[in-house]
Amino acid sequence: MKKDLSVVVPLYNEEESLVELCDWIAQVMDNHGFRYEVLLVDDGSRDHSWEVILELAEANPNVQGLRLNRNYGKSAALQTGFTHAQGEVVITMDADLQDSPDEIPELYAMIQEQDYDLVSGWKKKRHDPISKTIPSKVYNYFARVFSGIKLHDFNCGLKAYKNKVIKSVEVYGEMHRYIPFIAKGNGYSKIGEKVVEHRARKYGTTKFGLERFIFGFLDLLSINFVSRFKKRPMHFFGTLGSLSFLFGLVVTVWLIFDKIYRIHNQLRVREVTDQPLFYLALIALVIGVQLFLAGFLGEMVTIYSDKKNDYLIAETTTRQAESKMV
Q: What is the CA radius of gyration of the chain?
A: 26
The DSSP bridge partners found for residue 316 are: 66
DSSP-derived secondary structure letter, 201 = P
- Whole-angstrom distance, CA of residue 16 vs CA of residue 48: 9
**pTM value?**
0.71
- The pLDDT assigned to 210 comes to 55
Largest CA distance in the chain: 98
Q: Is 170 left (phi over 0), alpha (psi -120 to 50) or beta?
A: beta
Residues with Cβ < 8 Å from 60, sequence gap 6 or more?
22, 26, 38
Kind of pairing, strands 5-11 and 89-92?
parallel
User: Can you give the pLDDT of all 326 residues of the chain as single tens digits?
Assistant: 689 999 999 999 999 999 999 999 999 999 999 999 999 999 999 999 999 999 999 999 999 999 999 999 899 999 999 999 999 999 999 999 999 999 999 999 999 999 999 999 998 887 666 666 777 788 788 888 878 888 988 888 899 999 999 999 888 777 888 899 889 888 898 999 999 988 877 776 665 555 665 666 666 667 667 666 666 778 888 888 999 999 999 998 998 888 888 888 888 888 877 888 889 999 999 999 998 888 888 777 766 655 555 566 777 776 444 444 44
What type of residue is 239? T
216 closest CA partner among 185, 181, 178, 182 = 178
CA pair distance 326, 311, nearest whole angstrom:
6
Decide which of 3.30.470.20, 3.90.550.10, 3.30.830.10, 1.10.3470.10 is the CATH code for 5-230: 3.90.550.10
C-alpha 301 chain-centroid distance: 21
Contact 311, 326 (CB under 8 A): yes
Q: How many CA atoms lie within 13 A of 112 on its CB side?
A: 13
Contact 103, 136 (CB under 8 A): no
Strand partners, 5: 36, 89
